[in-house]
Structure formats: C-alpha cells, structure tokens
Amino acid sequence: MTSESRAAQAADVARTYYDSDDVNGFYVHAWGGDDIHVGIYAEPHDTVAAASRRTIGHLAGKAADLLRPGGTVLDLGSGYGGAARALAEGFGCRVTALNISEVQNRRHRELNAARGLDGLVDVVTGSFNDIPFPDGTFDVVWSQEALCHSGDRARTLEEAVRVLRPGGRLLFTDTMAAEDAPEEELRPLAERLTNADFATPGFYLGRLHRLGLADVQFEDLTAHMLTHYERITGEVEAQDPQLLGAVSAAYVARLRENLPRWAAACRAGLLSWGVFDARRPAAPR
C-alpha cells in the first residue's frame, strides 16, 4: 500500500469513527462537547473541561506574539472547535478550522453562531494530509491530539509547514507511545483510535528538524494523561443519564472495558503526551 493510499484509508476511518452516533455522544456528554483534548490538571478537583481549557491557554502562551487581531491560525483536526473559539474570542485572530468529520463540524458551526464568532472562525471539511490552502498562509498552525489519526504523519507535518508563513509557529500535542514502549502492548489502544500505531516524541522531533524548523522544543506533560483518563473513566462510571441516553449500551460497555486500559498504560509508562513548539525561519533578506 502506498503512503497516499494509507493516508486516504486513515482519513476514511477517522471520518467514520467521529461521525458515529456513539462516539459523538461520548465526546459531547462525557468529554464536554467543546474542547475534547487532554487537559493540564493544576487543581485537585479540576474538571475535564477546565483542564482542557488550561491546555489551550498553555499552548496559546507560546505564540502570544502572533495571536492578535488580524493574525491567522489553522487548527488541524479541530473537533468541535473549543480551541478555535478560545483563540478567536481571546485574541481576535482569524481561525480556519480544518476537520474531517462533518458531524463535528455541524456542531462546531452551531456553537460558533451561538457565541457570535461566525466572522472569525471558518470551519472547513477536509483532510490535513492535503491542506486546501496556498503556501505561507498562516501565522500559526495548531493541532491537538489529531495527528495520531494520520496515516502518513510525515506528510501531515510537511503540509503543516508548507502553509506556515516564514516566522510563523507550529504548535501541536499528540497521543504518543513512549520511546521504548513495546508495540504489542499498545496495539489495543491504537485499535480503539482506529489507527495502526502511535508516533513517539523522537519521531516528531526528528521530522521537525528535517523540515528545517527552528527553536524545536518538546515539553513533556505526560503526567497529566493519567489524571485525564481517570477523570474520563469516572464520568463514564458515574452513569450520567445524558451520556446513557446518547450512546448505546454496547458502546458504554466497551468504554468501561477500554478506558481503564488507557489509565493502566499511563501508569506503566507506555504513553507520552506533551507540547511541540517550532518556528519556521524567516525568509532571508
């Protein structure tokens, strides 16, 4: 199978996964339905939603000089648009949200309209392996736990850098394997995300350097993953009536079996998570 066909297959799988009623119901009712990404937990009783918002603020602080009225951001794999709305509302920048799932995109547009952000956030249905914008379009390219769904992560990064203007910043997080994690131990978790494997921090750092980016950094925040999956597991175990009314009994049973595996993998040091931050060098004068 060619890299193009692998990427296309992964895009189709991700679209089917996120368009399903069960997955949509789970993310809306157990994960908050706004920002559906791993949170940074700073307080003992942080909710999933509060921790997820803290992650957005933490990433935004790394590119505060570029996040301004008139600034442009591309959010790859934007989900329901929690980050896009936070950036547009907090900084006045224009955000293009590229996402494969039209089910998520419909909710995203509805939430934007309810907040009066239609003029600042543009929701585009498409794949991050073939970004439909010209070279050097955006000041910031942003992504949170989306690249794990890519069938060709090297191509996804190439595309992200292509549309980044000189002097612009690439910021992303991802669900990854620890460098020495045995592949067979992580295979059940990868299959839950309907992908073949996980990248590692070393893979991403190597690719970013090869793409000619400067100031490449990885901030390891793996410790927050365990808290995050324990909180998500708690939401499911609480048997919230809204959640149980939104997803099938079979899917709830799968969640109760699968989510503790994620927490166990975190305890065993098999997973990694954190923030990648890199800059595209300015063009020579």
Residue 184 has what pLDDT?
A: 86
Residue ranges for the chain with pLDDT beneath 70 = 1-11, 13-14, 16-17, 19, 29-33, 192-196, 239-244, 284-285
CATH 3.40.50.150, domain 3-279, yes or no: yes
Residue 235 has what pLDDT?
A: 77
Angle at 169 between CA 105 and CA 57, to 5 degrees: 65
Contact status, residue 202 vs residue 267, Cβ threshold 8 Å: no
The overall average pLDDT reported for the chain is 88
Residue 51 has what pLDDT?
A: 93
pTM over 0.75: yes
Residue 218 has what pLDDT?
A: 98
Residue 6 has what pLDDT?
A: 59
DSSP string for the chain: --HHHHHHHHHHHHHHHHHSHHHHHHHHHTS-SS--SPPP--STT--HHHHHHHHHHHHHHTTTTT-STT-EEEEET-TT-HHHHHHHHHH--EEEEEES-HHHHHHHHHHHHHTT-TTTEEEEE--TTS--S-TT-EEEEEEES-GGG-S-HHHHHHHHHHTEEEEEEEEEE--EE-TT--HHHHHHHHHHTT-S----HHHHHHHHHHTT-EEEEEEE-THHHHHHHHHHHHHHHTT-HHHHHHS-HHHHHHHHHHHHHHHHHHHTT-EE-EEEEEEPPPPP-
Residue 192 has what pLDDT?
A: 66
